[in-house]
Amino acid sequence: MATLIAPHGAAELRPLYIDDADERANLEREAGSLPSIVLSSAAAGNAVMLGGGYFTPLAGYMSKADALAVGRSMHTASGLFWPTPVLNLVREAGRIEPGDRIALRDPNVDGTPILAIQRVEAIDTFSPGEIEELTSQVYGTTDRAHPGVAEFLSQGRMAISGPLQVLNYSYFETEFPDTFRTAVDIRNEMSRRGWRRVVAFQTRNPMHRAHEELCRMAMERLEADGLVIHMLLGRLKPGDIPAPVRDAAIRKMVELYFRPGSAMITGYGFDMLYAGPREALLHAIFRQNMGASHLIVGRDHAGVGNYYEPFEAQEIFDRIPKQALAIQLFKADHTAYSKKLNKVVMMREAPDHTKEDFVLLSGTAVREMLGKGIAPPVEFSRPEVARILMEYYRERP
């Protein structure tokens, strides 16, 4: 069996999903008699990630003290490196008190079934000033036009902290049975394949030629055993392409253009934060926990709008303690097709080129083309991928 990179802050993964069927059935019965709350979508995503081992070594939702420490220093109060708060925020806790066991209901599934059980250690309220400070530290702005900020500020100011027992993986396992994988699943599959040096590619979008070639470049330069394409399956901002469409497009690209067995297509159940640099660090923790040795971080990784500088998500890795993370970065520049060289290149590696020497299309331009049933140039997008995206835009109301 291949020896994979160690998880973050622990000798082995600490998934909070209750794997034993009998124990899980007993907990499900118990949950029916417990006080319950309906989670925010963000907190439900946190539970899924805790369940799957991606948030190793966390045992549950953070306290106010931990969250504030993370905002100020990117470390919990006990000193664990962590870049973003992992919270269960509510507007009102009702009669729930520290020491209670409570059932956490899933807002993203009809009937709000029970997702997890939490033992309440504390219920703390953030002051408006503390919430504003935390928002600014994590997102780099308090502008409510930022989709991550708007979502965070909508969740409430009371933090219910404490450990979890996760009973299922929400809708991700049922709606994406071929794609959703826990960190445990991915580690096991990498070991089965004998992979040790593994490149991870984060995506919330379909993959075009530039993304495809960037993955190939990283694999070749790092002499990697394999690639894990790891797509976000949770909630996105309005206008982003839905996960089933992205999944189909990526699968078609890998089927036709990657060497068989060289790439794993996987996804994880989490809502996008759009937190730019801080979220890039969180993405690195996810990938270290799932066993990847390297993460591709490119231009405007996890960003939105003009809130972050183009390479701020790379630069933040140079400012954290050297031992904070074991995973390594593959730093990528903007990648595009060169008309001069007849191939996709990183733009910084073609100093003799002007903008006119590249095939460059804005996201808006591509969406307009697809919406009109016009395939982007083959230098930009594989025809088979473009057809799937055109079909999606044609069927939109």
Catalytic residues: 204-205
Q: CB of 104 within 8 A of CB of 60?
A: no
H/E/C letters for each residue in the chain? Answer: CCCCCCCCCCCCCCCCECCCHHHHHHHHHHHCCCCEEECCHHHHHHHHHHHCCCCCCCCEECCHHHHHHHHHHCECCCCCECCCCCCCEECCCCCCCCCCEEEEECCCCCCCCEEEEEECCEEEECCHHHHHHHHHHHHCCCCCCCHHHHHHHCCCCEEEEEEEEECCCCCHHHHCCCCECCHHHHHHHHHHHCCCCEEEEEECCCCCHHHHHHHHHHHHHHCCCEEEEEEECCCCCCCCCCHHHHHHHHHHHHHHHCCCCCEEEEEECCCCCCCHHHHHHHHHHHHHHHCCCEEEECCCCCCCCCCCCCCHHHHHHHCCCCCCCCCEEEECCCEEEECCCCEEEEHHHCCCCCHHHEECCCHHHHHHHHHCCCCCCCCCCCHHHHHHHHHHHHHCC
Q: Is the dihedral of CA 228, 229, 234, 235 positive or negative?
A: positive
Q: How many CB atoms lie within 10 A of CB 320?
A: 15
CA distance 125 to 160: 9
151 to 182, 275, 290, 318: CA distances (angstroms): 25, 12, 27, 29
Q: Is the dihedral of CA 145, 151, 155, 158 positive or negative?
A: negative
Please choose, from the candidates 32, 31, 36, the residue with its C-alpha nearest in 3D space to the C-alpha of residue 18. 31
Joined tokens for residue 10: 């622990």
